[in-house]
C-alpha cells in the first residue's frame, strides 16, 4: 500500500502527476490533490480518489539517468533550480518577508516571527496608526506562501480600503488579490452560473465586510469555503459589543473557523471592555479565554502585538517627520454671537429630568452640530421639529418654537459671517500656509457632519474658483468603487483633486499621504480616538513631508460657548501630549471607545465643568480595563530576536529567469531583452504566458502592453509605485515594472516549464570536469517528511558522495555546490560521460536510496526530539484550558438549568477534542518520507 505525501510523483491514467495535498475522509480513503506534469495534463489541477484509481508511485531507485548534452549544463541547472526553489521552509525563521519592496524596519518583522513560532499563525497586529500594519500582514503572508500555506487567501476590509490593500499586496509582495467590489461582483454574476461559488473560482480575493454583511448569497458562499489565510482589517469593527452580537461580529466568528491562519489588524483593538477584547482573542484562539471578564496576559501571549511610535523611535528615525500642530482661533462674528446667545439661553422641555443620562441631552447634540456648522445644526433642528410636529399635531409645543428661533438665528449666518469658514478660506489663500491649487500640494479637511462637508465643498469651489473635480467629497454612504476612486485619484499627480473634504469614514486605514501633508480639523472631535485616526491619514509610514495639522476653534465672548470651547482646546492639548508621551490618546480617558469618549466630553459640557477640572479629570481617569496590562508592550517580550534565513540556490532571481527564457526559446518563441535603465528584463507575452498570468494576476495588474517588465531592484520598483500614481488619468495606476522576487507568479510558470526539461522517471546525469575525479559520483537528493495532514515538516536537500563505488559520506548542498562548481555558469560540458560511468552510476541507485533513507531517518528522529516536548506542552496546555473552560461554565451559568450546562460542557469537550486532533495532525510525522533523485554528478 502506497503512503502518499506532498511532492510525490505518481502515474495515474498513464499521465504523470505531482501530489500537492493529501486528505483522508472518515472511511480512511484518501483524496489526492494533484498538478499535471506530463504534457497532456500540464498545469491541470485535479483530485483523484485512491480507492478508485490505479496509482503507481514513481520509485526513486528506478529513475533513469539522462546525460545532459546542453551547453554549460544549462538544462540540468535549470531543472535543479526549479526543484530547489520549491523547497519548503520547515523552521520558524523568516525566509523571504524581509526582501519585500519596502523600506523595512526590524520591528515590522516581529509580528511574523511571533506568529511563526506558534503552531498556528493566528495573531492580532494592533500597532499604532501609521506604523505599517498592512505591510506587517504582508510579510507574514509572504512567509506562509513560501511554506505552501498561502494558496487560498481571503482579505476582508472596509470598502474604502479595497484598492489600497490590493495594490499594497501586489506592488510590495506580488500577492495577487482579486478585488470583489460591487462592479466585479456584478461581472461575476453575469459570467458564472448562479449557483457557482466565486470563492472557488478565485483563490485569492479581497472583499468588503459590508458586501458580506448585506449579501446573503455571499455569506452562504463563505460557509462553504476554506482558506489557507484569512485577513480581517480594521478588526475592532468585528469585536462583540455587549450581549448582542452584531452582523459584522457574527461574520468574523464564522470566518475565524474557515482557516488555519487568521490575521487581524487594528490600531484601536479594544473598546475598554474586557469582554469585547476577549471576543477578538477567542476568534484567534477559542481556547485562550475561559472567562471573558477575567483573564491575564499569559492567556493571550503570542496572540497580539502592539507598539507605538515611542516604542520603536530608535528604528523609525528619519522615517517619520515631526508633526507641526497649531490651533486656529476663529473670532465669532456678530451674527454668530447672536445665534450663540439664542442657543445659550435655550431651555428644552424634552431635556428636563434627563441630566442623569450623560450625553443624551438634545441641546448637547445640537451644540455638537452647531460646532460643526450652521448647516449641520439646521439639519438636526429640522429632523427633530418634524418628529415633534408629528407627535404634537397641534404644533404649539414650546420646544418647536424655541428650536425654530435658533434655526432662524443660524440661517442668518452667511459664508461671510461664518467665522471658521472665513479663517479656513484665509488660511488656504495665505502665503504663510504656502498652499496653492496650481501645485500638487493637497489638503485634507475633516468634518463630522455630512451637511458641513457639502457646505465646505460647494463654498470652497465658489470662493477659490475651483472646479467640482478639484474639490471632492468622501463619506460613508458612497459606493465602494466611488470611494476607492477618490482615494486613488487623491494620490495621483495628474488628478485634478486639490482638496478632499471628508467625513470620518475616511479616518480609518486609508493612505492620504502620497501628495498631502496638510490636514485640517474643521470641527473638533469629541473623542481622542478620532483625533488619532484622522491624523494618521497623513502622519504615517511613507510620509516624506512634515505633517501640518490645524485645529479650528471658535473664539466667542459668550460665556457658555467660551467655556465649552476651552473643553475642546483641552482635548487638542491632551491628544498632543498623549502622542508625544504615551503613544495612545485613548489611554487618557480610559474608555477605548469613541461613543463613550464622546459621552465623557458631553457630560463635561452639560455640567459646565471648567477646563482645568476637565483636564484633571482626564489625567485621573480610572481605567476599568487597561489593555496595556495585557498587550505586549515590547512586542517580542521574552522572545528571541528575529531570525532571518538566507536561502541560496544556483541562480539569482534575475539570472534564473534570463537563463530559463533563453533556453525555452530554443523550442518555443519567448523573446526577452534587458531593460535599459535598470537591472531587469522585458518579456514578450506569448499566448501561453499571457494565459498563465491572466489566470494568476488581478486584471488590473496585467500589463497594458504585450510586454511584461520585471526588475529585482527594490528601490526602482518602489519608485515605480510612486510613479504609477502620477500617471495620466487615462492610464492605469499600477506600476508598469513589477517587482521580481521568488513569489512573483512568473516563477510558477518558469518552474513548471523547467521541470519538464527531463521526462517522467528521469534525472540529469552531469559530467563535471576538473573538480571531480573520474571515480567520484555525487547524488543530489531531496527528501520530504510530512505531518499527518501531508504538509512537509521536514524538507531537506543533501548530497551523497560515492568514490570507487563506495559510499563516502553526506554533503550539504552548500558543499555540493562548492565541490562541483554547480553554481557557476561557465562549467564546460565535454559530453564525454562513458557508458561504463553511466552504468556504474545507475548501479548505485539502490544503495543511494538506502543511504538517503538512513539520513532522512536521522532528520525524522531529530524532528521528533525537538517536537515531542512541544506536543506534550501543547496537549497539557489544552487539558488545563479545558478544565478552566468547564469551571467557567459553572461560574458564569450558576442559575441556568442543568440541560444548558450539559450542552455547553459538550461544546467545550468537542472544541478541545478537535484542537487536540489538530495539534497531533499538525506536529506529529508519518513514517513515509518521500525521496527524489534530483541529479547525479560524475567526474570526467
Confidence (pLDDT) at 424: 96
Backbone angles phi, psi at 127, to 5 degrees: -65, 155
More confident residue, 836 or 646: 836
Q: What pLDDT shows up at residue 881?
A: 84
- Across 189-193, 416-420, 477-481, least confident range: 189-193
Pair 796, 88: CB distance under 8 Å: no
Q: Distance between CA atoms of 574 and 656, rounded to whole angstroms?
A: 56
Helix (H, G, I), strand (E, B) or coil at 414: coil
Please report which confidence band the pLDDT of residue 409 belongs to, taking 50, 70 and 90 as the band edges: very high
pLDDT tens-digit readout, 330-343 = 999 999 999 999 99
What HEC string does 178-200 produce?
EEECHHHHHHHHHHCCCCCCHHH
Angle made by CA atoms 881, 633, 130, in degrees to the nearest 5:
120
Q: What is residue 730's predicted lDDT score, i.e. its pLDDT? A: 47
DSSP state of 92: S
Give residue 911's pLDDT: 85
79, 764 Cβ separation under 8 angstroms:
yes
Question: Where is average pLDDT lowest: 389-403, 522-536, 812-826, 871-885?
Answer: 389-403
Work out the average pLDDT over 784-799.
85
Q: Please tell me what DSSP assigns to residue 270.
A: -
C-alpha cell belonging to residue 314: 530608535
For 16-25, 125-134, 481-490, 691-700, which range has the lowest pLDDT when averaged over its residues?
16-25
User: What grid cell was written down for 388?
Assistant: 415633534
668 backbone dihedrals φ, ψ, rounded to 5°: -135, 160
Q: What is the pLDDT of residue 94?
A: 95
Structure-block grid coordinates of residue 291: 472567562
Helical axes 362-370 vs 594-606, angle rounded to 10°: 100
Pairing of strands 64-67, 204-208: unpaired
Q: How far apart are CA 296 and CA 323, in angstroms?
A: 36
Neighbours of 830 (CB within 10 A): 11
Distance of CA 782 to the CA centre of its chain: 33
pLDDT of residue 267: 83
Side by side, the strands of the sheet bearing 930-939 are 64-67, 762-768, 930-939, 776-786, 792-803, 806-812
Give the whole-angstrom CA distance, residue 496 versus residue 438. 10
Identify which of 101, 103, 105 has the alpha carbon closest to the alpha carbon of residue 717.
101
Distance CA 786, CA 927 (A): 8
What pLDDT was estimated at residue 375?
Answer: 96
**No. of helices (H) and no. of strands (E), the chain:** 31, 28
DSSP class of residue 40 equals G
For residue 318, is pLDDT > 70?
no
The partner residues of 67 in beta bridges, in order of sequence, read 765
The answer to whether residues 553 and 328 touch, using CB atoms and an 8 Å cutoff, is yes
Query: Collapsing DSSP states into helix, strand and coil, what is residue 624?
Result: coil
The winner for highest mean pLDDT among 144-158, 590-604, 787-801 is 144-158
Are residues 528 and 739 in contact, defined by beta-carbon separation less than 8 angstroms? no
Average pLDDT over residues 269-297: 83
**pLDDT, average across residues 525-543:** 85
Specify the pLDDT at position 877: 85
Backbone CA torsion sign across 282, 284, 286, 289: negative
Phi-psi region of 73 (alpha: psi -120 to 50; beta: other; left: phi over 0): left
Which of 700, 727, 936, 748 has its CA nearest to residue 840?
Answer: 936
Q: Give the residue-averaged pLDDT of 706-712.
A: 94
Task: Please report the pLDDT score of residue 297 as a whole number.
Answer: 79
565 contacts 573 by C-beta, under 8 angstroms: no
Give the highest mean pLDDT range of 104-118, 207-221, 356-370, 573-587: 104-118
pLDDT (mean) for 886-904: 68
- The pLDDT of residue 85 is 93
28 CB neighbour count, 10 Å cutoff: 8
Contact present, 314 and 665 (Cβ < 8 Å): no
What is the per-residue burial (b if ≥16 Cβ within 10 Å, else e) of 682-693?
A: bbbbeeebeebb
Tens digit of pLDDT for each residue in 795-821? 999 999 999 999 999 999 999 999 999
Q: Give the per-residue pLDDT at 158.
A: 86
Burial of 151 (0-12, 13-18, 19+ CB in 10 A): middle
* Average pLDDT over every residue of 117-125: 92
Q: Which residues, including other chains, have CB under 8 Å from residue 910's CB and lie 6 or more apart?
A: none
- pLDDT value at 885 more than 50: yes
User: Stretch 273-284: mean pLDDT, rounded?
Assistant: 86
pTM above 0.75, yes or no: yes
What is the per-residue pLDDT for 418?
A: 96
**Confidence (pLDDT) at 398:** 84
What does the alpha-carbon distance between residue 710 and residue 691 come to, in Å, rounded to a whole number? Answer: 18
Q: Which segments of 776-844 does DSSP mark as H helices, in order?
A: 813-820, 835-843
**Residues 83-120, buried b or exposed e (16+ Cβ, 10 A)?**
bbbebbbbebebbbbbbbbbebbebbbbbbbbbbeeeb
Give the span between the Cα atoms of 872 and 1, in whole angstroms. 31
In this model, does residue 242 exceed pLDDT 70? no
**Phi, psi of 315, deg, nearest 5:** -90, -25
* pLDDT beyond 70 at 43: no
128-129-130 Cα angle (round to 5): 115
Most confident of 294-298, 641-645, 763-767: 763-767
Amino acid at each position: 500500500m502506497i503512503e502518499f505525501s506532498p511532492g510525490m510523483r505518481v502515474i495515474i491514467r498513464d499521465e504523470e502527476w505531482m501530489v500537492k495535498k493529501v486528505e483522508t475522509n472518515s472511511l480512511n480513503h484518501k483524496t489526492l490533490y494533484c498538478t499535471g506534469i506530463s504534457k497532456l495534463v500540464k498545469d491541470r489541477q485535479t483530485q483523484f480518489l485512491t480507492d478508485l484509481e490505479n496509482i503507481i508511485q514513481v520509485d526513486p531507485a528506478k529513475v533513469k539517468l539522462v546525460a545532459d548534452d546542453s551547453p554549460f549544463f544549462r538544462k540540468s541547472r535549470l531543472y535543479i533550480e526549479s526543484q530547489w526553489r520549491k523547497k519548503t521552509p520547515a523552521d520558524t525563521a523568516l525566509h523571504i518577508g524581509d526582501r519585500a519592496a519596502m523600506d523595512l524596519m526590524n520591528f515590522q518583522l516581529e509580528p511574523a516571527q511571533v506568529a511563526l513560532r506558534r503552531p498556528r499563525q493566528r495573531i492580532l497586529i494592533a500597532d499604532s496608526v501609521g506604523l505599517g500594519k498592512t505591510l506587517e500582514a504582508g510579510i507574514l503572508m509572504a512567509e506562509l506562501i513560501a511554506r505552501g500555506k498561502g494558496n487560498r487567501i481571503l482579505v476582508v476590509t472596509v470598502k474604502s480600503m479595497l484598492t489600497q490593500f490590493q495594490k499594497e499586496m501586489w506592488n510590495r509582495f506580488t500577492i495577487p488579490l482579486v478585488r470583489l467590489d460591487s462592479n466585479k461582483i456584478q461581472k461575476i454574476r453575469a459570467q458564472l452560473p448562479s449557483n457557482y461559488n466565486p470563492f472557488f473560482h478565485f483563490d485569492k480575493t479581497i472583499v468588503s465586510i459590508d458586501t458580506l454583511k448585506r449579501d446573503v448569497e455571499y455569506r452562504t458562499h463563505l460557509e462553504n469555503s476554506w482558506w489557507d489565510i484569512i485577513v480581517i482589517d480594521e478588526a475592532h469593527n468585528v469585536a462583540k459589543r455587549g450581549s448582542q452580537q452584531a452582523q459584522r461580529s457574527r461574520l468574523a466568528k464564522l470566518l475565524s473557523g474557515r482557516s488555519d491562519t487568521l490575521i487581524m489588524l487594528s490600531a484601536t483593538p479594544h473598546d475598554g471592555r474586557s469582554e469585547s477584547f476577549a471576543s477578538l482573542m477567542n476568534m484567534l484562539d477559542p481556547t485562550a479565554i475561559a472567562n471573558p471578564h477575567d483573564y491575564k496576559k499569559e492567556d493571550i501571549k503570542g496572540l497580539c502585538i502592539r507598539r507605538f511610535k515611542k516604542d520603536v523611535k530608535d528604528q523609525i528615525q528619519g522615517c517619520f517627520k515631526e508633526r507641526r500642530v497649531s490651533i486656529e482661533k476663529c473670532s465669532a462674528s456678530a451674527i454668530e454671537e447672536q445665534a450663540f446667545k439664542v442657543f445659550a439661553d435655550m431651555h428644552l422641555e424634552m431635556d428636563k429630568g434627563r441630566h442623569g443620562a450623560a450625553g443624551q441631552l438634545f441641546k448637547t447634540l445640537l451644540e455638537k452640530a452647531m460646532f460643526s456648522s450652521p448647516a449641520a445644526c439646521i439639519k438636526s433642528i429640522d429632523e427633530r421639529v418634524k418628529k415633534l410636529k408629528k407627535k404634537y399635531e397641534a404644533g404649539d409645543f414650546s420646544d418647536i418654537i424655541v428650536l425654530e428661533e435658533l434655526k432662524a438665528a443660524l440661517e442668518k449666518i452667511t459664508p461671510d459671517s461664518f467665522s471658521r469658514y472665513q479663517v479656513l478660506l484665509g488660511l488656504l489663500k495665505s502665503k504663510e500656509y504656502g498652499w496653492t491649487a496650481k501645485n500638487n500640494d493637497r489638503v485634507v479637511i475633516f468634518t463630522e457632519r455630512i451637511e458641513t462637508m457639502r457646505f465646505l465643498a460647494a463654498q470652497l469651489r465658489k470662493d477659490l474658483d475651483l472646479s467640482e473635480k478639484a474639490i471632492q467629497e468622501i463619506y460613508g454612504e458612497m459606493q465602494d468603487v466611488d470611494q476607492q476612486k477618490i482615494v486613488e485619484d487623491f494620490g495621483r499627480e495628474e488628478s485634478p483633486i486639490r482638496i478632499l473634504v471628508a467625513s470620518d469614514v475616511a479616518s480609518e486605514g486609508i493612505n492620504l499621504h502620497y501628495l498631502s501633508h496638510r490636514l485640517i480639523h474643521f470641527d473638533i472631535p469629541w473623542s481622542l480616538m478620532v483625533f488619532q485616526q484622522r491624523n494618521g491619514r497623513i502622519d504615517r509610514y511613507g510620509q516624506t513631508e512634515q505633517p501640518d495639522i490645524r485645529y479650528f476653534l471658535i473664539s466667542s465672548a459668550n460665556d457658555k460657548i467660551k467655556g465649552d470651547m476651552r473643553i475642546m482646546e483641552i482635548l487638542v492639548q491632551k491628544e498632543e501630549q498623549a502622542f508625544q508621551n504615551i503613544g495612545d490618546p485613548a489611554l487618557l480617558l480610559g474608555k477605548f471607545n469613541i461613543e463613550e469618549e464622546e459621552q465623557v466630553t458631553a457630560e463635561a459640557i452639560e455640567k459646565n465643568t471648567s477646563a482645568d477640572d476637565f483636564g484633571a479629570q482626564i489625567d485621573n481617569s480610572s481605567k476599568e480595563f487597561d489593555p496595556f496590562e495585557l498587550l505586549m508592550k515590547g512586542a517580542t517580550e521574552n522572545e528571541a530576536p528575529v531570525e532571518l534565513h538566507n536561502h541560496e540556490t544556483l541562480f539569482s532571481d534575475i539570472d534564473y529567469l534570463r537563463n530559463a527564457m533563453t533556453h525555452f526559446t530554443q523550442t518555443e518563441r519567448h523573446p526577452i531583452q534587458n531593460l535599459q535603465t535598470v537591472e531587469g528584463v522585458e518579456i514578450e507575452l506569448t499566448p501561453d504566458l499571457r494565459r498563465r498570468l491572466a489566470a494568476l494576476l488581478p486584471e488590473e495588474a496585467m500589463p497594458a502592453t504585450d510586454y511584461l517588465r520585471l526588475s529585482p531592484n527594490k528601490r526602482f520598483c518602489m519608485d515605480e509605485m510612486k510613479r504609477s500614481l502620477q500617471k495620466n488619468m487615462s492610464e492605469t495606476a499600477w506600476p508598469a515594472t513589477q517587482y521580481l522576487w521568488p513569489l512573483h507568479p512568473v516563477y510558477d510558470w518558469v518552474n513548471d516549464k523547467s521541470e519538464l526539461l527531463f521526462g517522467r522517471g528521469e534525472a540529469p546525469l552531469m559530467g563535471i570536469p576538473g573538480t571531480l575525479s573520474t571515480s567520484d559520483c555525487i547524488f543530489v537528493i531531496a527528501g520530504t517528511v510530512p505531518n499527518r495532514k501531508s504538509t512537509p515538516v521536514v524538507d531537506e536537500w543533501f548530497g551523497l558522495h560515492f568514490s570507487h563505488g563506495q559510499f563516502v559520506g553526506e554533503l550539504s548542498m552548500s558543499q555540493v555546490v562548492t565541490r562541483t562548481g554547480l553554481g557557476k555558469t561557465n562549467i564546460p560540458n565535454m559530453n564525454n560521460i562513458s557508458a561504463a560511468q553511466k552504468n556504474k552510476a545507475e548501479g548505485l541507485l539502490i544503495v543511494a536510496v538506502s543511504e538517503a533513507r538512513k539520513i532522512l531517518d536521522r532528520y525524522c528522529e531529530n524532528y521528533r526530539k525537538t517536537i515531542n516536548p512541544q506536543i506534550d506542552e501543547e496537549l497539557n496546555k489544552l487539558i488545563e484550558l479545558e478544565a478552566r473552560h468547564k469551571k467557567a461554565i459553572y461560574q458564569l451559568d450558576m442559575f441556568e438549568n442543568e440541560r444548558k450546562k450539559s450542552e455547553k460542557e459538550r461544546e467545550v469537550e468537542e472544541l478541545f477534542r478537535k484542537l487536540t486532533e489538530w495539534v497531533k495532525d499538525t506536529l506529529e510525522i508519518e513514517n513515509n518520507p518521500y525521496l527524489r533523485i534530483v541529479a547525479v554528478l560524475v567526474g570526467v
